[in-house]
């Protein structure tokens, strides 16, 4: 790799991390543009990797908020 290519890759990775959101149910990183679903709760938008995660969140949002975990999918 050249220095320019390395820097380009680092900038791309940084921008991607700024865009990605954490699915509050499973902990996966989700691109909001490609999310399987989204929900509004207390004025905040949450994004989901699957409709199953969205459904679980919609039924019990407080169960998943503030939860620290490793991705499990």
The answer to whether 49 and 4 have CB atoms below 8 angstroms apart is: no
Global confidence as pTM: 0.72
- The confidence score (pLDDT) of residue 13 equals 76
> Whole-angstrom Cα distance, residue 19 to residue 31?
7
- The confidence score (pLDDT) of residue 46 equals 97
Could you list the pLDDT tens digit for every one of the 73 residues in the chain? 699 888 888 877 777 777 889 999 999 999 999 999 999 999 999 999 999 999 999 999 999 997 665 556 6
What are all long-range contacts of 16-24, with beta carbons under 8 Å and residues at least 24 apart?
Answer: 21/46, 21/47, 23/47, 23/48, 23/49, 23/53, 24/57, 24/61, 24/64, 24/65, 24/67
- The confidence score (pLDDT) of residue 73 equals 63
Q: First and final CA of the chain: distance in angstroms?
A: 32
């Amino acid at each position: 790799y050249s220095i320019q290519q390395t820097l380009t890759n680092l900038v791309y990775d940084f921008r991607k991390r700024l865009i990605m959101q954490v699915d509050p149910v499973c902990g996966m990183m989700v691109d909001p543009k490609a999310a399987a679903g989204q929900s509004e709760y207390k004025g905040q938008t949450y994004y989901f990797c699957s409709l199953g995660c969205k459904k679980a969140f919609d039924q019990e949002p407080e169960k998943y908020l503030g939860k620290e975990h490793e991705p499990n999918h």
